[in-house]
Each structure stands twice: as C-alpha cells, then as structure tokens.
Amino acid sequence: MVKVPKQGDILLLDTAPRFGHKQVGRRPYLVLSHDLIAQTSNVVIVAPITTTRRSYPLYLDLSSLGTDELQTRGKIILDQLTTIDYEVRETQYLESLPRGALRMVIAKARTIFQLV
C-alpha cells in the first residue's frame, strides 16, 4: 500500500511517458490538490519543480518562499499542473512545504483559473 500524499508534500516521481512541453523524467513535484481528492480517488494534482534558470510569471522559486530548511531546490512550475495516480506511479515522499509557503503557492496557482 502506498502512503496517501497530502497537500504540500513534495514527491519524487517519474511521469514518463509524456509529450510536448511537459516536464518528464524523475523529478520532484509539489502536491497542490486538497487531501480529500487523494483520500477518495488515489489521484493528486501536482506541479513539477525544476532547476531551470528561466523565469516566467507562473514559475515560483522555492527560495522566495522562505523555505531555507527544505532540501528541495528550484522553481515550482504552476502552468504545468498534472494529475497523477499515486498508486500507479512510483512515488517517493521527500518532504513537506511549510504551511505559510504552501498558502503563497496556492494563492499564485489560483491565477490560472481566474476569469479574464
């Protein structure tokens, strides 16, 4: 049995095979979806974390969130959200984002779904 991921968990997982502009390979992902989703459906909505130097409006650098205690480094890519089945994918728990930092990430992620 796989541990049920919680909102704010950083997981190491492999999302291959993928196509297009999506991030692929074994990398860290941040769980953004509410715990209720994982508890009832064994899927979670995640955002990849990358070490790219590029900056875009929806790339959120972990270092800007006051997360110096984390071992995970890089930028959360909020415009590449994906849903994964955590029981099918090889997921490994790494660590959890502090609650205050998670609030900032969720607030920024909401801009994706705002009406224009």
Domain positions in the chain: 9-113
> Which pLDDT score is estimated for 26?
85
> Which pLDDT score is estimated for 90?
81
> Which pLDDT score is estimated for 68?
86
Using the CB atoms, write b or e for 19-52: b if 16+ within 10 Å. eeeebeeebbbbbbbeeebbeeeebbbbbbbbee
Taking a C-beta distance cutoff of 8 angstroms, is the pair 5, 45 a contact?
no
Fold entry, domain 9-113: SH3 type barrels. (2.30.30)
> Which pLDDT score is estimated for 20?
52
> Which pLDDT score is estimated for 54?
87
| pLDDT averaged per 10 residues, the chain (length 116) | 88 72 75 96 95 90 91 95 90 95 96 89
C-alpha to C-alpha distance for 116 and 109, rounded to whole angstroms: 15
> Which pLDDT score is estimated for 101?
96
> Which pLDDT score is estimated for 18?
55
